[in-house]
A = this chain, B = another copy of it.
Amino acid sequence: MKEYVIAILGATGAVGQRLITELAQSKIPVKKIKLLASKRSAGKKLKFKNQEIIVEETTPDSFNDVDLVLSSPGGAISKKFLPEAVKRGAVCVDNSSAFRMEEDVPLIIPGVNDAQLSHHHGIIANPNCSTIQMVAALYPIFKRWGISQIVVSTYQAVSGAGKAAWDEMLDQAKAHLNHQKATANILPTATDRKHYSLAFNLLPQIDVFEKDGYTHEEWKMIHETKKILFNDQNSNCIKVTATCVRVPVEIGHGETVYFIVKNKTATVQDIQEEIKQTPGLILQDDPQNQIYPQPLIAAGNRETFIGRIRADQENLGAFHMWVVADNLLRGAASNTVDIAKCLIRDHLVRVPK
């Protein structure tokens, strides 16, 4: 059985650390692992299985002899190094938004569109965390009845903004509970000018604003969903619109997803049944017993949790669902490692000439 030299780029970040543990827990045969990060993090020691691995500073030559790169360093670093990795023959699965919308880059959710991996040119993109859990939850419904429209509102955990933002929110919470003024230097997003406290607050801004008033996060949910479902016969005219809100939760995005099916014969029971039978989805939908998805329960799990499925009483074919998943695992590290598994299964760990 072939064994792989695997590099983890951005190994010290919130997602990077989960990439290490997800890879360790997978059955992917690892010949050698390289942990790559910025100069600042070089020299740190991290564990892979029982080995202690020293984090190295990333350079183009870090990728010599690497088969597979699992990448989560932020867009600018991905943009700089992944083409270098591909040049050296490494196949890259990237968590950043740097390549997602490029035409020759497959945007993959295993179980949904991993068939599209066969067309890769060296870089495969992991969708945005909020897109992954929504599309994963909707896909069995989409496949069976078609979906004409999606209106989603997100309740996104702070860990999606990175480790520094996460720490900042916890510090703000402590200050707030001690009746002190909370400071904000990062949230809602480090790359914008103004900063606000998130603890005990809601920030309707994730990423920066586009000219049309949508945030880039909302733009991602809309356009990534269309790209992921594009090759599917049912996707010709799927409409998607979104509002993304950051909430004071550590791990686990929530989403209220309102969707309209094309084939109006769908019922709540049918939809529940489809979800139950889909690997990776867990139905938690028993209102009479107060069973519904919650971030505190979903955190630490790889699955997508779905509940509160209800028909809109006044619009035939329109339904609500409440979707929760661990944004660092389901929305990032687990999806990336699942893509790697698909690449290995399909003999695609090679950069096409």
Stretch in A127-135, A246-254, A328-336, A343-351 touching the partner:
A246-254
Q: Which chain B positions have C-beta within 8 A of A104?
A: none
B213 near A308 with CB under 8 A, answer yes
Q: Which of A203-230 contact B (CB under 8 A)?
A: 203-205, 209, 212-215, 222
Residue of B whose beta carbon sits closest to that of A158: B200
B324 near A254 with CB under 8 A, answer no
Chain A interface SS verdict (over half): mixed
* Number of chain copies forming the complex: 2
Considering the chains assembled together, what is the distance between the CA atoms of A309 and B296 in angstroms? 31
**Would you list 6 pairs from A and B whose C-beta atoms are within 8 A, ordered by A residue?**
A202-B294, A205-B292, A241-B258, A243-B256, A243-B320, A245-B322
A310 near B202 with CB under 8 A, answer no
Considering the chains assembled together, what is the distance between the CA atoms of A252 and B247 in angstroms? 13
Stretch in A12-20, A46-54, A189-197 touching the partner:
A189-197
Residue of B247, B308, B310 near A247 (CB, 8 A) is: B247
Q: Which chain B positions have C-beta within 8 A of A239?
A: 312, 314-315
**Chain A 158-201 near chain B by CB (<8 Å), digits 1 or 0:** 00000000000010011001000000000010001110110011
- Decide if A89 is an interface residue (CB 8 Å cutoff): no
Q: Which chain B positions have C-beta within 8 A of A295?
A: 200-202
Q: Which chain B positions have C-beta within 8 A of A289?
A: 194
- Decide if A153 is an interface residue (CB 8 Å cutoff): yes
B200 near A249 with CB under 8 A, answer yes
- Decide if A307 is an interface residue (CB 8 Å cutoff): yes
Interface size class on chain A is 35 or more
- Decide if A293 is an interface residue (CB 8 Å cutoff): yes
B173 near A213 with CB under 8 A, answer no
Residue of B151, B205, B213, B254 near A202 (CB, 8 A) is: B254
A307 near B258 with CB under 8 A, answer no
A174-B177, A239-B315 are known contacts. Are A324 and B292 too (CB-CB below 8 A)?
Answer: no
Considering the chains assembled together, what is the distance between the CA atoms of A234 and B86 in angstroms? 60
If A155-B247, A193-B290 are given as contacts, then 7 extra A-B residue pairs at C-beta distance below 8 Å, sorted by A number, are: A201-B294, A203-B294, A204-B293, A209-B290, A213-B310, A239-B315, A245-B254
A268 near B201 with CB under 8 A, answer no
Considering the chains assembled together, what is the distance between the CA atoms of A299 and B292 in angstroms? 29
A151-B258, A200-B249, A296-B197 are known contacts. Are A241 and B288 too (CB-CB below 8 A)?
Answer: no
